[in-house]
Amino acid sequence: MVSTAVELEIPFHDVDVMRIAWHGHYAKYLEIARCALLEQIDYNVPQMEASGYAWPVIDMRIRYAQPLRFQQKIRVEARLTEWENRLKIDYLIKDAASGKRLTKAYTVQVAVAIESGEMLYASPTVLLQKLGLES
């Protein structure tokens, strides 16, 4: 369906004494790719808020296959894989130079009506419109 990729360089402030990226920073790298993906359908955080919905992450899984190192250039690929009842985005982090797979992950987000705080059990029409699935 919808996919994108961003390239990043691992900065010094993200690494430990062994010059390996701290595992908690991976969420930030996924977030950068997720925002780029949502920009493609014009439904990033500002548009979500304007439509009356927040989309909190309720599940995130990361498989750390290989470490990310200081100054390493990486490619974070993001692909929307589910959208009917939730947003599920799959990620693949690769070494930008070699293409070697380093990390696999996914996030799951659900729509919450901002006004009531109620979680929706199906994606709102606005998302389906942004995806070109409804008019």
Select the CATH number that applies to the domain covering 3-130 from these four: 3.10.129.10, 3.40.50.1820, 3.40.640.10, 3.30.43.10: 3.10.129.10
Encoded tokens for 12: 């010094």
Measuring CA to CA, which residue among 82, 130, 135, 79 is closest to residue 105?
Answer: 79
Query: What count of Cα atoms within 13 Å lies in the side-chain half-sphere of residue 54?
Result: 11
pLDDT of residue 1: 80
∠ CA 109-113-118, nearest 5°, is: 85
- Name the least confident of 47-56, 68-77, 95-104, 126-135: 126-135
Per cent of the chain over pLDDT 70 is 100
CB neighbourhood size of 132 (10 A): 10
